[in-house]
Amino acid sequence: MRTLKCLLAVAILVGFVALATPNEKPDKEKDKVSDLMKRKLQASQKVLEGLAINDFNAIAKNGEELLEISKEAEWKVIKTPRYEIYSNDFRRTADALIKNAKDKNLDGAALNYVELTLTCVRCHKHVREVQWVKND
């Protein structure tokens, strides 16, 4: 009888843990996305540094890194039309950033950097909202 009560308690505990974390991605998948986002942040910080010191090579190189990161499988966190729009906007703006860096157009590259940042903020907000709705 005592064993049965222990098993029942464990089953209830496991059930609560499962309910507390619905629709969660496996840890390995989360880690890949987290690593990708860290790389994106590092590259975008290097773009900003390049803008600040007028280093067009650094701007172009890290713009290309941002573009490559956006093409990786882990980039696609959710499947919604708005997410696709944000991803396409990000890639289009990264392309423009690279072009402006190669043309040595600091003002254009700076504007592209701001656009990239706003796209990231909007997309991250959208992802949080979709995940919040899924978890309710």
DSSP string covering 54-84, please?
T-HHHHHHHHHHHHHHTTSGGG-----HHHH
C-alpha to C-alpha distance for 18 and 35, rounded to whole angstroms? 25
CB 58 within 8 A of CB 98: no
pTM beyond 0.85: no
Q: What percent of the chain has pLDDT over 90?
A: 64
The total number of structural domains in the chain stands at 1
In which domain, by residue range, is 57 found? 25-135
Residue 109 lies in a domain: yes
Residue 8 lies in a domain: no
pLDDT of residue 3: 45
CATH code of the domain containing 124: 1.20.120.10
Question: 6 versus 73: which is more confidently predicted?
Answer: 73
Residue 4 lies in a domain: no
